[in-house]
Amino acid sequence: MVSRTFWVGGNWKMNGSVAAIKDLATTFNAGSSPSDVEVVIGAPFVYVHLLSESLRKDWAVAGENCYVESSGAYTGEISPEMLKDVGAQWVILGHSERRSILGESDDFTAQKCVKALAAGLKVALCVGELLEEREAGITQQVVERQLDAVIKVLKEEDWANVVIAYEPVWAIGTGKVATPDQAQETHAAIREYLKKAISPKVAEEIRIAYGGSVNGKNCKEAAQKPDVDGFLVGGASLKPEFLDIVNATQ
Protein backbone atom coordinates (compact mmCIF):
# COMPACT_ATOMS: atom_id res chain seq x y z
CA MET A 1 0.00 0.00 0.00
CA VAL A 2 1.50 3.31 -1.12
CA SER A 3 1.25 6.13 1.37
CA ARG A 4 0.00 9.20 -0.50
CA THR A 5 0.91 12.68 0.80
CA PHE A 6 -2.31 14.51 1.74
CA TRP A 7 -2.89 17.49 -0.59
CA VAL A 8 -4.94 20.60 0.22
CA GLY A 9 -5.55 23.19 -2.48
CA GLY A 10 -7.23 26.57 -2.19
CA ASN A 11 -8.97 28.13 -5.19
CA TRP A 12 -9.66 31.83 -4.68
CA LYS A 13 -11.49 32.12 -8.03
CA MET A 14 -12.21 35.78 -8.95
CA ASN A 15 -11.70 37.14 -5.45
CA GLY A 16 -9.06 39.11 -3.62
CA SER A 17 -7.33 42.48 -3.38
CA VAL A 18 -3.78 43.50 -2.49
CA ALA A 19 -4.82 44.34 1.07
CA ALA A 20 -6.92 41.19 1.56
CA ILE A 21 -4.17 38.91 0.24
CA LYS A 22 -1.53 40.45 2.48
CA ASP A 23 -3.87 39.94 5.46
CA LEU A 24 -4.63 36.33 4.55
CA ALA A 25 -0.98 35.51 3.94
CA THR A 26 -0.14 36.91 7.38
CA THR A 27 -2.83 34.69 8.95
CA PHE A 28 -1.77 31.59 7.03
CA ASN A 29 1.93 32.19 7.71
CA ALA A 30 1.26 32.27 11.46
CA GLY A 31 -0.88 29.10 11.45
CA SER A 32 0.20 25.53 12.01
CA SER A 33 0.63 23.35 8.93
CA PRO A 34 1.63 19.67 9.22
CA SER A 35 4.88 18.76 7.49
CA ASP A 36 3.19 15.73 5.90
CA VAL A 37 0.49 17.78 4.10
CA GLU A 38 1.14 19.54 0.78
CA VAL A 39 -0.65 22.90 0.51
CA VAL A 40 -1.23 24.89 -2.70
CA ILE A 41 -3.19 28.13 -3.15
CA GLY A 42 -4.60 29.22 -6.51
CA ALA A 43 -4.89 32.99 -6.96
CA PRO A 44 -6.13 35.20 -9.80
CA PHE A 45 -3.34 35.86 -12.34
CA VAL A 46 -2.82 39.45 -11.24
CA TYR A 47 -2.08 38.37 -7.66
CA VAL A 48 0.09 35.27 -8.25
CA HIS A 49 3.33 37.23 -7.89
CA LEU A 50 2.17 39.05 -4.74
CA LEU A 51 1.02 35.77 -3.18
CA SER A 52 4.26 33.96 -4.02
CA GLU A 53 6.23 36.80 -2.39
CA SER A 54 3.98 36.99 0.69
CA LEU A 55 3.14 33.34 1.42
CA ARG A 56 5.07 30.93 3.63
CA LYS A 57 7.64 28.99 1.64
CA ASP A 58 6.38 25.52 2.67
CA TRP A 59 3.15 26.25 0.73
CA ALA A 60 2.99 26.54 -3.06
CA VAL A 61 1.12 28.92 -5.36
CA ALA A 62 -1.03 27.99 -8.37
CA GLY A 63 -2.50 29.79 -11.34
CA GLU A 64 -6.22 29.17 -11.84
CA ASN A 65 -5.92 28.51 -15.57
CA CYS A 66 -3.45 28.81 -18.46
CA TYR A 67 -3.35 28.78 -22.25
CA VAL A 68 -1.96 26.14 -24.63
CA GLU A 69 0.84 28.29 -26.11
CA SER A 70 4.01 29.78 -24.59
CA SER A 71 3.53 33.23 -26.12
CA GLY A 72 1.97 34.98 -29.11
CA ALA A 73 -1.02 36.92 -30.32
CA TYR A 74 -3.53 35.60 -27.76
CA THR A 75 -4.87 38.76 -26.16
CA GLY A 76 -5.76 38.28 -22.50
CA GLU A 77 -4.34 34.76 -22.21
CA ILE A 78 -1.59 33.64 -19.82
CA SER A 79 0.98 30.95 -20.60
CA PRO A 80 2.28 28.36 -18.14
CA GLU A 81 5.75 29.86 -18.60
CA MET A 82 4.40 33.24 -17.41
CA LEU A 83 2.87 31.61 -14.34
CA LYS A 84 6.20 30.00 -13.52
CA ASP A 85 7.98 33.29 -14.08
CA VAL A 86 5.93 35.01 -11.36
CA GLY A 87 6.27 32.22 -8.80
CA ALA A 88 3.54 29.63 -9.49
CA GLN A 89 4.44 25.95 -9.21
CA TRP A 90 0.96 24.61 -9.98
CA VAL A 91 -2.03 25.36 -12.20
CA ILE A 92 -5.70 24.40 -11.76
CA LEU A 93 -7.16 23.08 -15.03
CA GLY A 94 -10.59 21.84 -16.12
CA HIS A 95 -12.50 23.53 -13.30
CA SER A 96 -16.24 23.17 -13.82
CA GLU A 97 -16.59 26.95 -14.12
CA ARG A 98 -14.16 26.91 -17.06
CA ARG A 99 -16.05 24.00 -18.60
CA SER A 100 -19.62 25.19 -18.02
CA ILE A 101 -19.40 29.02 -18.10
CA LEU A 102 -16.59 29.38 -20.66
CA GLY A 103 -17.38 26.30 -22.71
CA GLU A 104 -13.92 24.71 -22.51
CA SER A 105 -13.95 21.18 -23.91
CA ASP A 106 -12.39 18.03 -22.50
CA ASP A 107 -9.84 18.08 -25.35
CA PHE A 108 -8.89 21.73 -24.79
CA THR A 109 -8.40 21.00 -21.10
CA ALA A 110 -6.20 18.02 -22.04
CA GLN A 111 -4.05 20.19 -24.34
CA LYS A 112 -3.57 22.63 -21.44
CA CYS A 113 -2.41 19.76 -19.21
CA VAL A 114 0.22 18.75 -21.76
CA LYS A 115 1.45 22.33 -22.13
CA ALA A 116 1.52 23.07 -18.39
CA LEU A 117 3.42 19.88 -17.54
CA ALA A 118 5.92 20.49 -20.36
CA ALA A 119 6.54 23.96 -18.92
CA GLY A 120 7.30 22.44 -15.52
CA LEU A 121 4.08 23.22 -13.67
CA LYS A 122 2.19 20.60 -11.69
CA VAL A 123 -1.51 20.23 -12.49
CA ALA A 124 -4.63 20.01 -10.37
CA LEU A 125 -7.04 18.45 -12.88
CA CYS A 126 -10.72 18.98 -12.01
CA VAL A 127 -13.43 16.51 -13.02
CA GLY A 128 -17.04 16.18 -11.91
CA GLU A 129 -20.68 15.81 -12.88
CA LEU A 130 -23.69 18.13 -12.99
CA LEU A 131 -26.69 17.52 -10.71
CA GLU A 132 -28.79 16.12 -13.57
CA GLU A 133 -25.93 13.76 -14.45
CA ARG A 134 -25.68 12.53 -10.84
CA GLU A 135 -29.48 12.02 -10.76
CA ALA A 136 -29.34 10.15 -14.09
CA GLY A 137 -26.78 7.79 -12.57
CA ILE A 138 -24.03 8.68 -15.07
CA THR A 139 -21.46 10.22 -12.69
CA GLN A 140 -18.85 7.63 -13.61
CA GLN A 141 -19.35 7.97 -17.38
CA VAL A 142 -18.97 11.75 -17.16
CA VAL A 143 -15.82 11.57 -15.04
CA GLU A 144 -14.29 8.87 -17.28
CA ARG A 145 -15.01 10.96 -20.40
CA GLN A 146 -13.27 13.97 -18.82
CA LEU A 147 -10.30 11.82 -17.77
CA ASP A 148 -10.08 9.98 -21.11
CA ALA A 149 -9.24 13.17 -23.02
CA VAL A 150 -6.24 13.67 -20.73
CA ILE A 151 -5.23 9.98 -20.59
CA LYS A 152 -4.99 10.00 -24.42
CA VAL A 153 -2.35 12.76 -24.49
CA LEU A 154 -0.23 12.27 -21.35
CA LYS A 155 2.63 9.83 -20.92
CA GLU A 156 2.43 7.50 -17.93
CA GLU A 157 5.26 9.33 -16.11
CA ASP A 158 3.41 12.67 -16.46
CA TRP A 159 0.80 11.53 -13.94
CA ALA A 160 3.36 11.84 -11.11
CA ASN A 161 2.83 15.62 -11.42
CA VAL A 162 -0.98 15.55 -11.49
CA VAL A 163 -3.53 15.63 -8.68
CA ILE A 164 -7.11 14.80 -9.69
CA ALA A 165 -9.74 16.96 -7.98
CA TYR A 166 -13.17 15.34 -8.03
CA GLU A 167 -15.66 18.18 -7.77
CA PRO A 168 -19.35 17.32 -8.16
CA VAL A 169 -20.67 20.51 -9.80
CA TRP A 170 -23.88 20.38 -7.75
CA ALA A 171 -21.79 20.75 -4.58
CA ILE A 172 -19.67 23.76 -5.63
CA GLY A 173 -20.68 26.94 -3.84
CA THR A 174 -24.14 25.53 -3.12
CA GLY A 175 -23.59 24.46 0.46
CA LYS A 176 -24.50 20.91 -0.64
CA VAL A 177 -21.68 18.49 -0.02
CA ALA A 178 -21.17 14.97 -1.27
CA THR A 179 -21.24 12.81 1.86
CA PRO A 180 -17.90 11.26 2.84
CA ASP A 181 -19.31 7.94 1.57
CA GLN A 182 -20.31 9.47 -1.80
CA ALA A 183 -16.86 11.02 -2.16
CA GLN A 184 -15.15 7.74 -1.24
CA GLU A 185 -17.32 5.78 -3.67
CA THR A 186 -16.49 8.05 -6.62
CA HIS A 187 -12.79 8.33 -5.71
CA ALA A 188 -12.51 4.53 -5.47
CA ALA A 189 -14.25 4.17 -8.85
CA ILE A 190 -11.85 6.72 -10.40
CA ARG A 191 -8.86 4.81 -8.99
CA GLU A 192 -10.24 1.52 -10.32
CA TYR A 193 -10.72 3.11 -13.75
CA LEU A 194 -7.17 4.52 -13.82
CA LYS A 195 -5.85 1.03 -13.05
CA LYS A 196 -7.29 -0.18 -16.36
CA ALA A 197 -6.88 3.01 -18.39
CA ILE A 198 -3.27 3.85 -17.40
CA SER A 199 -1.63 1.39 -14.97
CA PRO A 200 -2.00 -0.07 -11.47
CA LYS A 201 1.06 1.98 -10.40
CA VAL A 202 -0.47 5.33 -11.42
CA ALA A 203 -3.82 4.34 -9.90
CA GLU A 204 -2.18 3.51 -6.59
CA GLU A 205 0.08 6.56 -6.42
CA ILE A 206 -2.09 9.39 -7.77
CA ARG A 207 -3.79 11.65 -5.27
CA ILE A 208 -7.52 12.23 -5.69
CA ALA A 209 -8.78 15.28 -3.81
CA TYR A 210 -12.43 16.13 -3.12
CA GLY A 211 -13.85 19.58 -3.83
CA GLY A 212 -17.30 21.09 -3.33
CA SER A 213 -18.36 23.19 -0.32
CA VAL A 214 -15.54 21.81 1.85
CA ASN A 215 -15.21 23.70 5.13
CA GLY A 216 -13.55 23.43 8.54
CA LYS A 217 -16.49 21.49 9.97
CA ASN A 218 -17.15 18.84 7.30
CA CYS A 219 -13.56 18.03 6.26
CA LYS A 220 -12.44 15.77 9.10
CA GLU A 221 -14.68 12.78 8.39
CA ALA A 222 -13.98 12.83 4.63
CA ALA A 223 -10.23 13.04 5.32
CA GLN A 224 -10.42 9.61 6.99
CA LYS A 225 -11.67 7.86 3.84
CA PRO A 226 -9.03 5.64 2.20
CA ASP A 227 -9.37 7.12 -1.30
CA VAL A 228 -9.81 10.77 -0.31
CA ASP A 229 -6.27 12.14 -0.53
CA GLY A 230 -7.05 15.79 0.08
CA PHE A 231 -9.33 18.69 -0.77
CA LEU A 232 -9.69 21.47 -3.31
CA VAL A 233 -11.33 24.27 -1.35
CA GLY A 234 -13.23 27.27 -2.73
CA GLY A 235 -14.84 29.83 -0.42
CA ALA A 236 -13.28 28.53 2.79
CA SER A 237 -9.77 29.09 1.35
CA LEU A 238 -10.40 32.85 1.62
CA LYS A 239 -10.92 32.56 5.38
CA PRO A 240 -8.75 31.66 8.39
CA GLU A 241 -10.70 28.35 8.64
CA PHE A 242 -8.62 27.14 5.67
CA LEU A 243 -6.04 26.26 8.31
CA ASP A 244 -8.56 23.86 9.91
CA ILE A 245 -8.84 22.04 6.57
CA VAL A 246 -5.04 21.94 6.19
CA ASN A 247 -5.03 20.22 9.61
CA ALA A 248 -7.95 17.86 8.82
CA THR A 249 -5.82 14.73 9.12
CA GLN A 250 -4.31 15.65 12.49
pLDDT of residue 175: 83
pLDDT of residue 174: 84
Long-range contacts of 178-185 (CB under 8 A, 24+ apart): 178/210, 178/212, 180/221, 180/222, 180/224, 180/225, 180/228, 181/225, 183/210, 183/222, 183/225, 183/228, 184/222, 184/225, 184/226, 184/227, 184/228
pLDDT of residue 121: 98
Active site residues: 95, 167
Q: Contact 14/210 with Cβ under 8 angstroms?
A: no
Long-range contacts of 133-139 (CB under 8 A, 24+ apart): 134/168, 134/170, 139/168, 139/186
Over the chain (250 residues), what is each successive 10-residue block's mean pLDDT? Answer: 92 98 98 98 98 98 98 98 98 97 98 98 98 94 98 98 96 86 96 98 98 93 97 97 97
pLDDT of residue 173: 83
pTM surpassing 0.85?
yes
What one-character DSSP code corresponds to residue 5? P
213 contacts: CB under 8 Å, gap ≥ 6: 171, 172, 173, 174, 175, 176, 177, 234, 235
Identify the structural domains of the chain with CATH numbers, from first to last: 6-246 (3.20.20.70)
